[in-house]
Amino acid sequence: MIAVLGLLVGAAVGLLLEPTVPSVLQPYLPIAVVAALDALFGGLRALLDGTFNDRVFLVSFLSNVVVAALIVFLGDQLGVGTQLSTAVVVVLGIRIFSNAAAIRRHLFRA
């Protein structure tokens, strides 16, 4: 639960301070945000499953964001940046959808 609390605090701080992201990192932001969403939904599902774990949540969040950005960076270097971005978005999108479906089943029993 401490992780969720920290996430909220960090979000509030980010909203208040509005730090500027260096332009070098700009191309990786969209994928990183999608990856963060995936980690959030996974964490929420685990929470409803009763298996939530701060450490796992944080590690999956961090690794999701880093790996997603790394894949886009690698794709850019190899000249297949857009295709790799699409692949990442498709996979993460499917995961988000099925996690959201599981969450829905938990909440509404439907």
The residues binding another protein (CB under 8 A) are 2-15, 17-21, 23, 26, 29-30, 32-33, 36, 42, 45-46, 49-56, 58-62, 65, 91, 94-96, 98-99, 102, 105
Location of structure tokens 């790996």: 67
What's the closest the beta carbon of residue 1 comes to another protein, in angstroms? 10
Handedness of CA 53, 56, 62, 67 (dihedral sign): negative
Q: Which is nearer to another protein, 7 or 89 (CB)?
A: 7
Q: Which is nearer to another protein, 61 or 75 (CB)?
A: 61
CB 57 within 8 A of CB 43: yes
Q: Which is nearer to another protein, 4 or 89 (CB)?
A: 4
What's the closest the beta carbon of residue 78 comes to another protein, in angstroms? 22
What number of other Cβ atoms are within 10 A of residue 106's Cβ? 13
**Which two tokens mark 20?**
């500027």
**C-alpha span between 75 and 64 (Å, rounded):** 16
